[in-house]
Amino acid sequence: MSTSSYAPHQALPVASAEIGALLADLVARWHEVEPAHAEEGLRGKVCDLHRFNFLLWHEEDIARSPAVTDARIAAVKRAIDGYNQARNDAIEKLDDWLIGELATRRVVARAEAPAATETPGAAIDRLSILELRRFHMREQAERPDASPEHRAKAAEKLVVLDAQRDHLVTALDRLLAEIFSGGRPLRVFRQMKMYNDPTMNPYLYQTGTKAA
């Protein structure tokens, strides 16, 4: 089979609506049980990313509480840094999986094909966060101890979030279709995060030098 620079009839590896449904289901389930999953392949990469966003979201909630101690804030800050690093790594791994799938299918973008400003991994990351926001906004819209005004405001915001979710799912489907038809190249956007690297964060390597 020869390498193709244009493959208009390539099936998508997964539908964006399926990804959205998976993320929404996990958000609800993980509020009842420990966040974990048994998915593999692309769905597994999506779940890995979603799990880090879930953990990150709730650590950030703790960090904003005025009731926690300074020591607890410091621990939460370190947890946030770790989850954020893992989240960025997960985005790259998701895009790496898609690049591997493109290679397996021998799909190569046309030489003149313009790149998108966002990779599918970055778009799925936004969808993951959006599903978390929708879940918690729905909680506020249904909160029995909140005022009617509070619930009404939350309900109005939920309508906007639902529309944004639909737009993002449609845009992600279009992006994947363009990539898997050879209409756009997929290049992993390497974050090159430095803050957790003890050889690149001056506060870490200078502290190590002083301690020695």
Distance from the Cα of residue 195 to its chain's centroid: 20
Q: What is the pLDDT of residues 143-201, one digit of tens each?
A: 999 999 999 999 999 999 999 999 999 999 999 999 999 999 998 877 666 666 667 67
Domain ranges of the chain: 16-195
Tokens of 211: 């301690």
Q: From its phi and psi, is residue 39 left (phi > 0), alpha (psi between -120 and 50) or beta?
A: beta
Residue 205 has pLDDT above 70, yes or no: no
pLDDT of 7 strictly over 80: no
* pLDDT tens column, 35-44: 999 999 999 9
Q: Which two tokens mark 57? A: 């979201």
For 27-87, give the DSSP string: HHHHTTS-S-----HHHHHHHHHHHHHHHHHHHHHHHT-TTS-HHHHHHHHHHHHHHHHHH
Per-residue model confidence as pLDDT tens digits over 84-136: 999 999 999 999 999 999 999 999 999 899 989 999 999 999 999 999 999 99
In tens, the pLDDT along 26-63 reads 999 999 999 999 999 999 999 999 999 999 999 887 88
C-alpha to C-alpha distance for 165 and 131, rounded to whole angstroms: 8
Task: Give residue 13's pLDDT.
Answer: 87
pLDDT at 3: 44
Please indicate whether residue 90 or residue 205 has the higher confidence score (pLDDT). Answer: 90
What is this structure's pTM? 0.85
Q: Which residue has the tokens 């998976």?
A: 22
Provide the 8-state DSSP code for 8.
T
Closest by CA to 93, choosing from 156, 47, 126, 28, is: 47
